[in-house]
Amino acid sequence: MNKISRRSFIPLLGTAVAGASAVSFSLAKEFAVNEIIVPRSLKKGDSIGVCAPAGGIKSNAEIADFKKVLNDLGYSTVFSQNIDKNIGYFSGTDQQRADDFMELIRNKSVKAIFFIRGGWGCARMLEFLDFEIIRDNPKVIMGFSDPTALLNAITVKTGLITFHGPGGNSTWNEYSVKYINELLVNGKTLNYTNQHGDLPIVTYSKGTAQGELYGGNLSVLSTLVGSNYLPNWKGKILFLEDVAEEPYRIDRMLTQLKLAGVFDQISGLILGTFRKCLAEDPGHSFTLEEVFEHHFKGANFPVFYGAQIGHTLNKFTVPIGAKVEMNSVEGSFRLMEAAVGSL
């Protein structure tokens, strides 16, 4: 994929439309989706939009706490209209949640959108989003867990790089904030290597690979199989993480990806944290590591487990849609180009 900025994207699309005798507008839009769009880097004083595209907050203290986190980092905040609503296990109807997100997309003063929590619900609002408007208003969009559905869908449908990183109810410690600043503010081409000895690296298949990075929460990603919100997996680097799922459930979801042909197409696999993924009855279960061995030991693509991605105290922020190179022996991966730019 080629990388273009928002500024160069408009003339490109205009040129395609001008040549309508040779290329239809629909083909021009299809061509645009095959281009990577990088959002503008963040700077102190920027306004961050915050919405709840999935689960509802437990108390208004969550809003106040996240506001303080972002203010302390030097940003102002804009909270969506329905962020304090609760309807069942959602923060509003599917349409309301989609409208809240789209309003922040349209708001020219908002330079980034973060999510206050995960839960469940992002996949249900995808049909209500206007991906053309999202593409025409590129900005940093960051979250993880259930927002896996939203992040991957946006990158697939628009070419805009999105970011798998902390949400409002995450731990915004020095380690995690460092990766946000280096990636989203300073625009560095980061080398991701575990620090502090939080997680040992386990290599299931040795090697190096390059490809565009896609993935996120395994439970969420597996539910999107068969939809048009996931990429063509050929040559991609896939990353996965999860929390509080028993080994047999992890096995079941990995088998779903296998049967869907995902593992026949990817060029590499990065397994992040799988916190609390323990068997309720250990005497009648494989361990998580044994499940990974069943699926990936001796795979024909590099695989390692233990990257600081997901539901963990010290977490990486990684760009979905960006090109990376991974090394499964070292348990590392690096960006091959900046994921943000100046527009």
Residue where a domain stops, chosen among 112, 137, 170:
170
- Per-residue pLDDT at 33: 56
In a domain? residue 29: no
The candidate with the shortest Cα–Cα distance to 95, out of 131, 53, 132, is: 53
Do 261 and 317 belong to one domain? yes
Q: Rounded distance, CA 313 to CA 177, Å?
A: 11
SS3 337: coil
Q: Residue 22 domain-assigned?
A: no
Decide which of 118, 136, 170 is a domain's last residue: 170
DSSP 8-state code for residue 168: T
The answer to the question of residue 273 being in a domain is yes
What does the pLDDT read at residue 22?
Answer: 35
- Say yes or no: 228 and 94 in one domain: no
**pLDDT, average across residues 4-17:** 42
Q: How many Å apart are CA 177 and CA 197, to the nearest integer?
A: 18
Distance of alpha carbon 27 from alpha carbon 180, whole angstroms: 36
CB of 253 closer than 8 Å to CB of 288:
no
For residues 200 and 158, membership in a common domain is answered with no
Is 9 contained in some domain?
no
Residues 109 and 239 reside in one and the same domain: no
pLDDT, average across residues 255-268: 98
Quickly state the pLDDT bin for 25 (edges 50, 70, 90). very low
CATH of the domain at 152: 3.40.50.10740
Cβ atoms of residues 184 and 140 within 8 Å: yes
Give the model confidence (pLDDT) of 147-180 as tens digits: 999 999 999 999 999 999 999 989 999 999 999 9
Structure tokens at 229: 């919100």
**Whether residue 141 is found in the same domain as residue 217:** no
Which range in 6-10, 129-133, 311-315 is most confidently predicted, on average pLDDT?
Answer: 129-133
Average per-residue pLDDT for the chain: 91
pLDDT above 80 (res 14): no
d(CA 202, CA 19): 52
For residue 264, the 8-state DSSP code is: G
Tokens of 318: 């990684």
**Is 4 part of a structural domain of the chain?**
no
Residue 200 reports pLDDT greater than 60: yes
The distance of Cα 253 from the centroid of its chain, to the nearest Å, equals 18
Task: Identify whether residues 82 and 153 lie together within a single domain.
Answer: yes
- 200 with 90, same domain: the answer is no
- The yes-or-no answer on residue 145 being catalytic is yes
Question: Do 166 and 201 fall into the same domain?
Answer: no
How high is the pLDDT of residue 34?
65
Helix (H, G, I), strand (E, B) or coil at 328: coil
Quick check: 75 pLDDT over 80?
yes
Of the candidates 303, 304, 243, 309, which has an alpha carbon nearest to the alpha carbon of residue 277?
243
User: What is the mean pLDDT of the segment spanning 52-60?
Assistant: 94
Residues 6+ apart with CB under 8 A from 264: none
Residue 216 contacts residue 320 (beta carbons within 8 Å): yes
Confidence of residue 342 (pLDDT cuts 50, 70, 90): confident
**CA-based nearest residue to 119, from 72, 55, 58, 173:** 55
- Token pair 């390692």 is found at 304
Indicate if 163 and 229 belong to the same structural domain: no
Structural domain count of the chain: 2
In a domain, 62, yes or no: yes
Residues 246 and 199 in one domain: yes
The CATH number of the domain holding residue 280 is 3.50.30.60
Rounded average pLDDT over 42-57: 97
Residue 196, CA distances (Å) to 12, 232, 242, 276 in order? 45, 35, 21, 20
Task: Assess whether pLDDT exceeds 70 at residue 238.
Answer: yes
- Which domain covers residue 219, as residue numbers? 191-335
Buried b (16+ CB within 10 A) or exposed e, 119-139: bbbbbbbbeebebeebbbbbb
Cβ atoms of residues 275 and 243 within 8 Å: yes
Which residues fall within 8 angstroms of residue 177, CB to CB, at 6 or more apart?
73
In angstroms, rounded to a whole number, what is the distance separating the alpha carbons of residues 32 and 24? 13
pLDDT at 23 over 70: no
- Whether residues 155 and 268 fall in one domain: no
What does the block give as tokens for 62? 């969550």
| Token pair 């980092």: residue | 73
Residue 112 sits at the vertex; the CA angle it makes with 137 and 107, to the nearest 5 degrees, is: 50
pLDDT per residue as tens digits for the range 96-150 = 999 999 999 999 999 999 999 999 999 999 999 999 999 999 999 999 999 999 9
Catalytically annotated residue among 41, 145, 222, 332: 145
Domain assignment of residue 38, yes or no:
no
Q: Is residue 156 included in any domain, yes or no? A: yes
> Is residue 211 domain-shared with residue 149, that is, in the same domain?
no
- Percent above pLDDT 70 for the chain: 89
Q: Which residues pair with 334 in a beta bridge?
A: 191, 325
- What global pTM score does this model have? 0.90
From 35, 62, 212, 241, active-site residue: 241
Taking 60 as the threshold, does the pLDDT of residue 51 lie above it?
yes
Helices (H), the chain: 6-18, 25-33, 61-72, 94-106, 122-125, 131-136, 148-158, 174-180, 218-223, 247-259, 288-296
